[in-house]
Amino acid sequence: MKKLDYEKLLMIPGPTMVPNTVLTSMANPIIGHRTKQYSELLEDTVEKMKKVFMTKNDTYFITGSGTSAMDMAISNTVDKGDKVLTITNGNFGERFYNIAKVYKADIIRLENEWGDCAKPEQVKEILDENPDIKVVTIIHNETSTGVRNPIEEIGNIVKDYDALYVVDTVSSLGGDYVDVDKFNIDICVTGSQKCIAAPPGMAAISVSEKAWDVINKTETKSFYLDINAYKKRYESKKETPYTPSVTLTYAMNEALELVLNEGLENRFKRHEKLAKATRAGLEAMGIELFAKEGARSVTVTSAKYPEGIKDSEFRGLLADKYGILVAGGQAQVSGKIFRVGHMGMAKEHHILGTLAAIEMAFKELGCDVDSGIDAAKEILKI
């Protein structure tokens, strides 16, 4: 096996850097997944997850990526021909659309410009015109474009209709303000590897009473993702219906403990500060941000490439010479933007080091940019 380079700084929108205590927790002995010991571990992890979701709703873990929870949300609520409103402004909004298409939904797409957020008034207009909409899907933090959607405002609208409100918080939960119950979210999904700062491979989902009413009237279309199987097994034995990743359960338990110990409010403020510093630093260099003012994420910043800069050369130089990974654009913005993740356990020195490397990389590629360090330091109070 080729020797891996473990020295890269992950400034991508997931997976993020994982704290040592989380990594070492996975070295605990493997225990039987049908034992009291595992049931106690899972129950404790679920209760911590509920606190991070800010919900009293039923909550379950899936051994799978965040997409598995997205699939679970749709496959258990949508029958063929059911009307689904998918709100899209990036690649992950498109993923909800594609999942709904697999289950043969009658889909209404509310498409927004990539780089801009969804407009609550447009959601209300569509719901008024289509009272038979069964499910509304939205991405809270669209990592492909660095955009944050107004999920609280939209939740206040959807709650007055029969439609279920399904929200992807994969790249925001634990880093940006999400209150499942206050925001009237019926099904909320998230993943392990972003703001929660655990390894990839585990997803979580919360389910409201309103959602259960719909689920119980919907034909089950998946074996592994049948949410009633998760409910039945957890309520009866505090277990998962199928073999879970014991090691990832250890990791999620420890990662959620760190989130709660820092405090959700403190964590939100830290992410907001890092986002502002990143934006300020890039703008001071003369780099144009991609996401529009008022729509910008607090966990990932998107920026346009200066003329003449090639994505592969820029990101390759950052990775190979400076040991820093940033992300490129996806789909229609591939090669046009780069994205800096500042989520999970990211700290001030990670931001400053990344900005310094970005400045040097641009200069080495022939782009005359100014320094962004002082502007970032002013935000960070360093």
pLDDT at 382: 85
Tell me the per-residue pLDDT of 22-43, one tens digit each, with 9 for 90 and over.
Answer: 999 999 999 999 999 999 999 9
Tell me the per-residue pLDDT of 108-132, one tens digit each, with 9 for 90 and over.
Answer: 999 999 999 999 999 999 999 999 9
pLDDT at 2: 61
Q: Are 143 and 297 contacting, i.e. CB atoms less than 8 angstroms apart? A: yes
Q: Residue 203: beta bridge partners? A: 62, 191
Q: Choose which CATH entry (3.40.50.1010, 3.40.630.30, 3.90.1150.10, 3.30.499.10) describes domain 9-13+263-380.
A: 3.90.1150.10
Residue 291 tokens read as 């996401």
**Fold designation for 20-261:** Aspartate Aminotransferase; domain 2 (3.40.640)
Question: To which residue do tokens 């991609």 refer?
Answer: 290
Whether 379 has a pLDDT exceeding 90, the answer reads: yes
Q: Are 365 and 314 contacting, i.e. CB atoms less than 8 angstroms apart? A: yes
Q: Are 50 and 206 contacting, i.e. CB atoms less than 8 angstroms apart? A: yes
Q: Please report, for the chain, the start and end positions of each structural domain, with discontinuous segments joined by +.
A: 9-13+263-380, 20-261
Tell me the per-residue pLDDT of 127-159, one tens digit each, with 9 for 90 and over.
Answer: 999 999 999 999 999 999 999 999 999 999 999
Cis peptide before 19 (omega within 30 of 0): no
